[in-house]
Amino acid sequence: MKRYSLFILTIVLAAGMSACRKLNIPPTNIIQNPAVFSSSGGIQAYMARLYSELPIEDFRYSPDMGLNFFWIIKPTPATTGEALSRDQGGSSSENFGDWHWDVWGGNYSTIRDCNYFLETLPANAGNFTPDQVKQWTGEAYFVRAMTYFALVKRFGGVPLVTKTLQYSPGQDISDLKIPRASEQAIWDQISKDFDAAIANMPAVNSDYSDGSRANKYVAAAFKSRAMLYAGSVAKYNTITLFDASKNQLCGMPQSLAAGYFQQSYDAAKMLDGQYSLYLSAWSPTDKNAQYQNFVNLFSDPASKENIFVREYQYPNSVHGYDAYNVPRQLMGPNGYSSEVNPTLDFVEKFDGLPKNPDGTLKTLDASGHYLLFNNTMDIFANAEPRLRATVIFPGDVFKGQNIEIRRGIYTGPVAGGIAPLLPAGSKAQYPTANLVVSPNAGQTAYKLPDGTSMNPAGLSGVFTGDQTCAISGFSVRKWLNPNLPTSQVLENNETQTWIEMRYAEVLLNKAEAAVELASLGQTGSINTSDAFNIVNQIRSRAGADPLVGAATIDIVRAERRKELAFENKTYWDLRRWRIFNQEQNGTIYRILMPFYSAQAGKYFFDQRTDERNDVYTYDTRWYYEQIPGGAISKSPNLIQNPGY
C-alpha cells in the first residue's frame, strides 16, 4: 500500500513539473475579438445577445418577477387597475430583491456590451461593408439608449458610463465607483444615442427586415416614447433629490418639459408615411369586421403597424401567455388559467355600453330593480369592437366555445322586480339566502323550475372557493392565440410575437406631445389639429364614437389607455403622469357579476367592488424605485432614492 502511494506521488510530482510553461496564449474558454468581429455571423451572434438583453416589458415580464422570467402569475395589468388577478392583491412596485431580476447588474452588462461593440467595431471595419458597419453601429446606440431608458424610468439619474471600464487585478477601484449622474444628463444621453441610431441606421434593417431588429424609424419611435416620458417627468414630478454637488438625481426643472415634448413630437413625425394603422380586415360599417381586424392586428406578421417586435421560437425562446390567461374552461394541461380578469372600471372606459349619467354601467331600471336579459351578451350587443377584441365578455365566443361566466343562480322571488342583492356601495359578501353558488369547478347542477338543470356557476366561473376563474366577470382576449389547441396551452410552449412598438402608440405619442406643448404655450412648431385627428383615426379603426370637441389631455390619455391596454404600457404611463397614487388611493376595483334568476328565466348583472376587498394604494415613493442594496454595497457612492 505504502509503496503504491510513493509511486503515485512520484508520477504526480513529475507531471506537475513538466507542465507547459508557455502561458502567454489567449484564454481558450473566452471567445476572442477576431472570432466575433471578422464575419457577419460573429456580429449576428453579438446582436442576438444585445437584442435578447434589450430591456422591454414583453410576455415574460411582470413587476414582481422582472424581465425574461417564465412564470407570470402576477401580471402587469393586475397592478394598474386594468385587471384583477387572484395572485395579485394590491399595488406593487417592481421587485428587484433576492433571486428576482438583477435590474442593476443586468442593464449595466448590456451597456458594457454596447460600449465594447462601439469601441471594437471600428478597428475591424475592414471586414465589412461601410453600410454594414454603419447599421450595426446604429443598432448598438439603439440598444444603449433603450437600456438607459429602462434605468432612468425606474431610478432617475444613474451612473453614466459610455466607455468600457477597465479593471486589472490590484488596481484601485475607487475610480470605478461612479456616482449617479443627474436625471437630466441621462435623458439627454438617451436622446443623443437615439439620434446616433437614427443617423446611422437605414430605413430597413438589412439583416432582418421583419421588425425584430431596429432601423432608423424604430429608433425614432422609441425616441418619441422616451422623450414623452422625460417631458412628463419634468412637468409632473414633485419628488426631488440632490447630491452634495447639487446634481439633481431625481426630477428635472419644469422648464425642460417643452423641449422634451418637442423632441417626442418631432421623432414621432419622422414616421409619417412609413407605417400605418392595421386595417386589413376592417370595414367602416361592419362592427364584426372592425372587431376581427383588431383581433388580427396582434397576430398578422404582415401588419404595417408593427414597428418593433420580439419574436419567440420553440424551444429556444418561449413564453406561456395563453397558459396563464385563457378562460377557465379552456384551461391547458398545466392547470393555470384566467390570471388577467379585466375590471369593470376598465370596461366602462369604452363606448357602446348602456351607461348611467355618472358613467357606470346601467344594470338597474328606473325603479332600482335589476334589468333582466335573455342572454349575458345582450348588454354588450353594441359594445365598441375594440373592447370586444380586448376583453372576453360573459357569453362571448372564443375558440368556438361559449365562454360561460356566471356568479350563481338567484332563486328568490321576482314579482315586482329583483331588488339589488346588496345596498349600493356595500363591500360585504353576497347574502347566502336565495343564492346557489359553486365553490369550485366540480359543480352540482341546480334544478330549474322548468325541470331542466343548470350549474350554479359558468364553466369559466365564478367559483367562490378557489378563484381559478373570471373573478371580475371578464377574461382577457388581447394577445391570446385563437388557434392554439388546448393540449398545447402550456407554459414555456408558446411563440406568438410580442409587438413592443406599434404605429398606434407613435400616433398617440405625437398627439400627447402636441397637447402638452399647446398647454405650455408652444404652438409654433406643431400642428394643433394633430391631436384631434389622431384620436379620431384611432377611434375610427376601433369602431368607437368619433370625438367631437377638442382633444384635451384627458381625452388623449384615455384613448391611449384603451388602445394600449394589456400591452404593459399603462403601468409606465400612470407612473410618468404621476397619477398612480391618485388612482390607487385606497382603491378597490369594481367587477360585474352575472346572475341567473331561476324564476324569471333571465340574467341580471350586479356591479360591486372586488369581492376579495383587495385594496390598491400606490406608494408615492415608487415613482423612483429603490436602488438595490447590493448595488450600493458595491459602490457606496450611489445615493439611495428618497424614502427607502
Partner 1 sequence: MKKRFLYAALCLAIAATTSCSKVDNYAAPSATISGKTVDEATGETVQTEIGGGGTRVKLLEISYSSNPVPEYFQSKQDGTFNNTKVFPATYKVSVEGPFVPIVQTDNTGAVISDASQTITLKNTADLTFKVQPFLKVEWVGKPVVNADKSVTVQVKVTRGTTNPAYQQDITNINLYVSNTQYDGSNNYDPRYSNLVSYSGATGTALLGQTITITTTGGALPDQDVYFRVGARINAGLNEYNYSTPMTAN
In the complex, least distance from residue 208 CB atom to partner 1, rounded to whole angstroms:
45
Cβ atoms of 134 and 118 within 8 Å: the answer is no
Query: Is residue 579 a contact residue for partner 1 (CB under 8 A)?
Result: no
> How is residue 77 written as a grid cell?
395589468
Residue 8 binds partner 1 (CB under 8 A):
no
Residue with smaller CB distance to partner 1, 270 or 615: 615
Q: Is 636 in the site for partner 1 (CB under 8 A)?
A: yes
317: cell is 425562446
The minimum distance between CB 585 and partner 1, in angstroms, equals 6
Binding partner 1 (rule: CB under 8 A), the pick from 253, 357, 416, 485 is 253
| Nearest alpha-carbon partner for 494 in 322, 272, 297, 236 | 322
Q: Which stretch binds partner 1 (CB under 8 A): 137-145, 320-328, 498-506, 577-585?
A: 577-585
Least distance between partner 1 and beta carbon 103 (Å): 19
Instruction: Quote the least distance from Cβ 60 to partner 1, whole Å.
Output: 29
Distance CA 385, CA 296 (A): 12
Interhelix angle 503-519/530-542, nearest 10 degrees? 150
Residue 643 binds to partner 1 (criterion: CB under 8 A): yes
What nine digits make up the cell of 457?
A: 356557476
- Return the beta strands (E) in 365-491 as ranges: 391-392, 397-398, 401-402, 408-410, 435-436, 446-447, 453-454, 475-476
Q: Is the Cβ–Cβ distance between 314 and 470 less than 8 Å?
A: no
Query: Treating both helix axes as pointing N-terminal to C-terminal, what angle do 287-296 and 530-542 enclose, rounded to 10 degrees?
Result: 100
Residues 410-469 that bind partner 1 (CB under 8 A): 423, 425-428
The smaller minimum CB distance to partner 1, of residues 45 and 428, is found at: 428
Q: Which of 102, 188, 243, 311 binds partner 1 (CB under 8 A)?
A: 243
Contact criterion met (CB below 8 Å) for 114 and 140? yes
Q: Is 615 in the site for partner 1 (CB under 8 A)?
A: yes
* Cis peptide leading into residue 204 (ω within 30°): no
Binding region for partner 1 (CB under 8 A) out of 17-25, 57-65, 245-253, 316-324: 245-253
Task: Closer to partner 1 by CB, 423 or 485: give it.
Answer: 423
Helix segments in 357-502, DSSP class H? 385-390
- Set of cell numbers at residue 247: 446634481
| Dihedral sign of CA atoms 462, 426, 591, 576 in order | negative
**Alpha carbon separation from 23 to 16, 20, 35, 173, 267 (Å, rounded):** 15, 7, 21, 27, 53
* 73 or 588: CB nearest partner 1: 588
> Per residue in 374-404, is it b (16+ CB within 10 Å) or e — as a string?
eebbebbeebbbbbbbbbbbbbbebbeebbb
552 binds partner 1 (CB under 8 A): no
CB nearer partner 1, residue 402 or residue 640: 640
> Cα dihedral angle (56, 60, 65, 67), rounded to 10 degrees?
-30
What Rg do the C-alpha atoms of the chain give, in angstroms? 28
Q: Where are the alpha helices (DSSP H) in 68-182?
A: 77-80, 103-120, 130-155
Which of 436/638 has CB closer to partner 1?
A: 638
Beta carbons within 10 angstroms of residue 40's beta carbon: 14
User: Site map for partner 1, 582-611, x if CB under 8 A?
Assistant: x--xx-x-----------------------
Nearest alpha carbon to residue 441 among 458, 425, 423, 417: 458
**Nearer to partner 1 (CB atom), residue 165 or residue 428:** 428
Interface residue with partner 1 among 244, 366, 415, 548 (CB under 8 A) is 244
Residue 436: enclosing H or E segment and its boundaries? Answer: strand 435-436
- Note whether 178 binds partner 1 by CB under 8 A: no
Position 533 contacts partner 1 (CB under 8 A): no
Closest CB to partner 1 among residues 467, 609: 609
Selected from 38, 212, 240, 440, the binder of partner 1 by CB under 8 A is 240
617 touching partner 1, by CB under 8 A: yes
Which positions from 254 through 293 interact with partner 1, judged by CB under 8 A? none
User: In terms of CB distance, is 113 or 614 closer to partner 1?
Assistant: 614
Q: Which is nearer to partner 1, 333 or 643 (CB)?
A: 643
Cα 351 to Cα 152: distance, rounded to the nearest angstrom: 36
* Residue 313: partners with Cβ closer than 8 Å, 6 or more residues away: 495
Q: Which three cell numbers stand for residue 142?
A: 439603439
70 versus 242: smaller Cβ distance to partner 1: 242
The residue range among 217-225, 369-377, 475-483, 635-643 that interacts with partner 1, by the rule CB under 8 A, is 635-643
Cβ 291 to partner 1 shortest distance, Å: 36
Q: Is 640 in the site for partner 1 (CB under 8 A)?
A: yes
Stretch touching partner 1 by CB under 8 A, among 209-217, 227-235, 241-249, 392-400: 241-249
Number of residues that bind partner 1 (CB under 8 A): 32
Picking from 448, 446, 474, 481, the residue whose alpha carbon sits closest to that of residue 460 is 474
User: Does residue 93 belong to the site contacting partner 1 (CB under 8 A)?
Assistant: no
Report phi then psi at 616, rounded to 5: -105, 120
Q: Which is nearer to partner 1, 558 or 632 (CB)?
A: 632
242 binds partner 1 (CB under 8 A): yes
Among 248, 317, 401, 599, binds partner 1 (CB under 8 A): 248
Nearer to partner 1, 423 or 521 (CB): 423
- Among residues 38, 109, 127, 247, the one that binds partner 1 under rule CB under 8 A: 247
Instruction: Indicate whether 238 belongs to the interface with partner 1 (CB under 8 A).
Output: yes
CB atoms within 10 A of CB 203: 9
Inter-residue contact 90 to 615 (CB < 8 Å): yes
Which of 176, 239, 555, 558 lies at the binding interface for partner 1 (CB under 8 A)? 239
What is the H or E stretch that residue 259 is in?
Answer: helix 257-269
Instruction: Return residues touching partner 1 (CB under 8 A).
Output: 238-240, 242-244, 246-248, 253, 423, 425-428, 581-582, 585-586, 588, 613, 615, 617, 619-621, 632, 636-637, 640, 642-643
